[in-house]
Structure 1
């Protein structure tokens, strides 16, 4: 009396691939919403698994009535599995609450206040060492669960048990080698992502618990099974799909025998059952919530009239939720390496690629790209992906292309106008600073200017500079400046990161 776990596990694996592909991104509102959808789907899946597991535990109790001595050892092991699984599930639930509280708690509607907060998960899981502790507990739980498996099947369960503790293949992106398990899952991820990942581990626990107790139940002599109630069971590969993807549903009764094939009707279509299980493939079409309905009919074990059990399961079909976001802002700057983050919900990052008109785009990591542009105006980034073996366009986004803004001319910390004579005299030249710019480390070079000095009681003096430093022929005049004197800068030339020489407006300093 067991349900195959492959389709349900495939659904969870697809969700997890989406999460890991998104963790390094500059998260937008659309991505946060996508995490909400995935988290809600995992919560729903966990509830369904809890109900299914409860049903199996109840069947152990029913078997105790008919065959107590044979059932008791397996039931005792199943209850131990239930206890250790529930303990770990609650431990993770407490971790969720701790992270949510560290990120500002819940609002009046019960939603996370700061879904995009990066500090809370990092502080709790890395700094407070809850990540390594969780890794250790999950590793120990997996070891305990495998100890309840039939020794003949242990190698098989080692490979298929959903609860796995492993680190992905990505490194830290800076040549620092592989990440730790904690860093890979929780370092600098948004709160909603951390909660979703923890929910995924809870889902793995529920699935693993289900696999173990199913195996224990199978070890009771099948011929002695006597079920007094059954119910439909529908497992979808995903409850959220993109147009063009395929919905796969595995349908059976909650307690079934591989020697009896039920009659299954899905959306009016008869489905062939094999070993007690029916599988239906439905192309996803039309955006919105969809429903799969039908009936399962079983022959009566005592030769009476067949019994039918209706079922209904909903799923969502959505358009492609491609996310293209400039890490700095919705502008690409000429002469700079503009970082861009690209993701597509439901598609692994390695299957996504992008092109740009009016520039060049290079992939540097999972979901991370660098864009260079040469001409002001507009540029469009197009995103495609390999979906079910076919190249599919996932969307495009237009960006403005601008030159890096002009710098501010300064002597010392002053931008022109009034300045103390004593402060001016100790400076070595003219600077060109770029203020309040999104990119750090962008600098301008002063390549030339004309400086004029108007000192009281003295002749007007000029000098031409070929660098930022004051020209030597006016050095003595600058050292002799006094309050009331004026210094003029004209024909100022600066060179920016695009290597283009720009002319700057004249500026004057009135000394006091």
Structure 2
């Protein structure tokens, strides 16, 4: 039995070992009373460990609030360990009650009547096979708990985990190969000793649970970096700039304090810091690699000499580049006006023009803003050119996917199908085609026709065709008289989209309640 570090727990286990040895010599009233004292002390210890473990579980909950993604996997294992340990603990508690009942139960003072009864533990644990059953549960629990420990710690845990399932040694000091685990612990031992042994296993479970969840909690931050040095860091708005663009550099120290402003110099210029952060601005000029350098100086925490940290950061100043982007997404839709933004760094927007390769057209609305209209699915390429120094130069091109506008969703009122209150359905006028979650506003479908079928209890099936979004006139009265339990079928729905193409939509059904 591995002895825990807690002094109180060490004393309890030592007393348990001593009393077990004394039991082999004589079963006197004093020994039985001593076992009672040890058992009570173990139970008290179990309560203390349970409270300590709950503190750890509460810490898991707090960590989940801070970082659920990182904490979640470890909390899940901790919860599994908690549930498995509780199940085993409660099972042993049931065995204790069974043995006490077999020994005559409790007296009016709550004490075990048959503390010295040797038969009760033997009947329950050996004859009724509860001992092997307990042994199997403890072995399974130990293996489960060890599976939650980090691989690098598993070997150490296998040696130190309090929950061990092994047959001890005989009084002669040699292992008794004929004794089973159940026989060794429970054969012909007094009831109070058997109960104390079971309490001891409960204590091992609690201590093992504590060791494992502590390890799991430590794993949450095991991979976190521990910083013990200070160095400057710099963030540029871009490391690749065009001639004439503004360079913006954010400079601070990591980790920096918002209450201590460092002294910063960049390229010989003093930068004022606010909340620990300094910002340097300069205009990029001259094509090629450039750099900024300087120092960040912090006051010493202990009042000594200030500490300075030098830095250097490079960036590139290059020639013009072109940007072509779809304002909505990298897709052009048929039947709608697709807005496109086109820019070329270093080139005036009025000098830039674009053309479309493919089925469609592109129109310039204002500086840098275009509208593309396409007519057939596939691909389209936008080519950009610019007039630079009187010459037309190609600045680049970009390929887009061309797709039809997605199908709409059919609705009666706000319902897409399924269960609908009869009273709400009766007041509807027809069918709508709703385009949901589409990037373009104002794009809609028109319902140009559909068929309605009505199944009413006690009536023949009724059917009618509509050539507009509204229910057919021949079914108006039937729709106004719909009742719970009736079913309305809507099929052969035809809708016309912004591309002018008529589409057939899937059928839907409404069950009235």
Q: Is the shorter-chain TM-score for this pair beyond 0.5, marking a shared fold?
A: no
Higher RCO (CA < 8 A, seq sep 6+) = 1
TM range (shorter): 0.3 to 0.5
With the length of structure 1 as denominator, give the TM-score of the two structures: 0.42
Q: What's the TM-score, normalizing by structure 2?
A: 0.42
Larger Rg: 2
